[in-house]
Amino acid sequence: MPKEVSPMTKDESKSTWHLHLTGQVQGVGFRPTVYRIAKDYNLVGQVKNTSDGLHVAFNASKELAIAIKEEICNRSLPTLARLTNVSFREVPYKEFVRFNIAHSTKDQTIDMVLTPDVALCERCSEELSGQDDRRYAYSFNSCSTCGPRFSIIDQLPYDRANTRMALFEMCATCKTEYSAPTDRRYYAQTISCPDCAIGLKLYRSNAEMLSSDNTEIIKRTTELWQNGNIIAIKGIGGYLLTCDAENEDVIKRLRQLKHR
């Protein structure tokens, strides 16, 4: 909290302020960021996603409200966020008792930038390679600042229920992380782990399943590549046709199959 701004007192709280942000504001960890800022400043109010962006409403004095706006839009702007418009105004007073992340709504005209899929972040990469980490070697590791976004969205606003992740039930540990404001997976819609895994399955071209064990699948896929096979890998955004890039014969066959 900036030193020149005093925390809100009860007498100062009889004003309600509304901050509306558009742009790349969903799927970037914005709501958890706003929630943590609100807790730091001892605010009451709410933050939510809608079809036209991110909305923040809170009670504060004018001085504190301006400081909050600057904190959200500048000093603590999430790394992946891109703002195209900022609307900030005082609105009729509304009584809040705490600060919370409200349920998203989709009753407005869609006006936002779709967040692209984001490469694995450094911390998730460390978990992936850390043999003592519970997400060690887990193929679908991600958090609130990395992982698929555009490829899994069925409709806006960006919430788990509106993505392909709605099909996967979180385990107890993931639910705890998802619900903990201090955790970097707080409201991370792509959260999963080996205990509630997005599973892998390996099939022949005739639909015969060869394996559903992740470790075995990786091993067998490597062997199939080495033996000159073409493997179609179904990902979140479609299929990738893969083979041994040093095997000229299989590359020629792949080009013929794709008429390239």
Q: What is the pLDDT along the chain (260 residues), one digit of tens a residue?
A: 444 455 544 455 579 999 999 999 988 889 999 999 999 999 999 999 888 899 999 999 999 999 999 999 999 999 889 999 999 999 999 999 999 998 777 666 776 777 889 899 999 999 999 999 999 989 899 998 899 988 888 888 888 998 989 989 999 999 999 998 889 898 899 999 999 998 889 999 999 999 998 889 989 999 999 999 999 998 766 788 999 999 999 999 999 999 98
36 by Cβ neighbours in 10 Å (0-12 / 13-18 / 19+) ranks as middle
Distance CA(225)–CA(241), nearest Å, equals 11
Distance CA(234)–CA(110), nearest Å, equals 30
Q: CA of 64: how far to CAs of 54, 58, 135, in Å?
A: 20, 11, 41
Do the Cβ atoms of 232 and 241 come closer than 8 Å? yes
At 195 the pLDDT is 94
The two tokens of residue 125 are 């990469």
What are the CB-based long-range contacts (under 8 Å, 24+) for 198-202?
198/139, 198/140, 198/168, 200/139
Distance CA(162)–CA(248), nearest Å, equals 43
At 237 the pLDDT is 66
Q: Cα dihedral angle (45, 22, 187, 70), rounded to 10 degrees?
A: -60
Distance CA(98)–CA(200), nearest Å, equals 42
H-only helix segments in the chain: 30-40, 62-70, 122-129, 172-179, 214-226, 248-257
What are the CB-based long-range contacts (under 8 Å, 24+) for 195-200?
195/134, 195/171, 196/168, 196/169, 196/170, 196/171, 197/138, 197/140, 198/139, 198/140, 198/168, 200/139
At 202 the pLDDT is 95
Residue 178: CB atoms within 10 A of its CB come to: 17
Classify residue 98 by its DSSP letter: S
CA atoms within 13 A on the CB side of 52: 8
- Using a cut of 0.85, tell me whether the model's pTM lies above it: no
At 236 the pLDDT is 66
Do the Cβ atoms of 99 and 58 come closer than 8 Å? yes
Do the Cβ atoms of 233 and 240 come closer than 8 Å? yes
At 1 the pLDDT is 46
Classify residue 74 by its DSSP letter: I
